[in-house]
Amino acid sequence: MAEVSAARSVPADPYPVRFPVVALIASAGGLAALTRVLAPLPADLPAAVLIVLHQDPRRESELATILARSTALSVELADDGTVMRPGQVLVVPAGRHLLVTAEARVGLIDAGALPPARPSADLLLATLAVTCGARALAVILTGMGHDGEAGVRAIAHCGGTVLAQDAATSKYHSMPAAAIATRHVQAVLPADEIGPAIVAHVRSH
């Protein structure tokens, strides 16, 4: 019986989401940081933006409404099955975790009692990593704890990029510090420099 040698076909780019996606991760002190980061982003930003801010699910959140006042981008509260698109900001609802799917959609799952943090940055970033690869950009902003640390490792493993807010402009630096400690953060920046860095990054991808 003759031997048959068959080369396995490997796609050049196995990641299904075909445009850049930016995940902004924040906790305590995060509203001010998110506002400063979003302000310089143009309406024609060639990337989708996902926002995780740890919130108390027992209180009604006005986060999407508040952030919409500070950016030229379209801002809406994420719903289960929402399709991501460039120039759009999706805010993760309080008490839900957000997943990114291969169809460039987001999925929402109910969060249990703390811990883990909710919405979970680690869950979001892990799914973002495996669907976006090098098109994923994670930005870890002010916050307490270490949510996002494992997600940063996932982003780096799949070829994505990570930025972190510096200590001087963070109200609480625990979350950025945990990300930085992974040694997978490409740049540590003041809050006002993160927006321009996002624009430069996504326009090169």
Q: How many domains does the chain have?
A: 1
- Is residue 201 flagged as an active site residue? no
| pLDDT value of residue 89 | 98
pLDDT band at residue 86 using 50, 70 and 90 as cut-offs: very high
- Per the residue annotation, which of 97, 147, 184, 201 is the catalytic one? 147
Q: Which of 54, 97, 173, 184 is catalytic?
A: 54
Nearest CA to 51 out of 59, 35, 43, 40 is that of 35
Per-residue model confidence (pLDDT) at position 143? 97
For residue 62, tell me if it sits in a domain: yes
Q: Is residue 161 part of a domain?
A: yes
> Domain for residue 69, yes or no?
yes
Residue 9 has pLDDT above 70, yes or no: no
For residue 4, pLDDT beyond 50: no
The active-site residue, picked from 27, 170, 173, 184, is 27
Concerning whether 147 is annotated as a catalytic residue, the answer is: yes
- Report yes or no on 10 lying in a domain: no
For residue 189, the domain's CATH number is 3.40.50.180
For this structure, is 54 an active site residue? yes
Q: Provide mean pLDDT across the span 125-131.
A: 98
- Beta-carbon contacts of 124 under 8 Å, excluding residues fewer than 6 positions away, are 23, 25, 50, 52, 92, 97, 98, 99, 100, 151
Question: If you search the block for the tokens 């508040």, which residue do you land on?
Answer: 66
The mean per-residue pLDDT over the stretch 47-72 comes to 92
In a domain, 16, yes or no: no
* Position 95 in a domain: yes
> Containing domain of residue 154, as a range?
21-203
pTM for this model (two decimals) = 0.92
Name the token pair of 33: 């940081």
| 66 — pLDDT class (breaks 50, 70, 90) | very high
The pLDDT, as a whole number, for residue 5 is 41
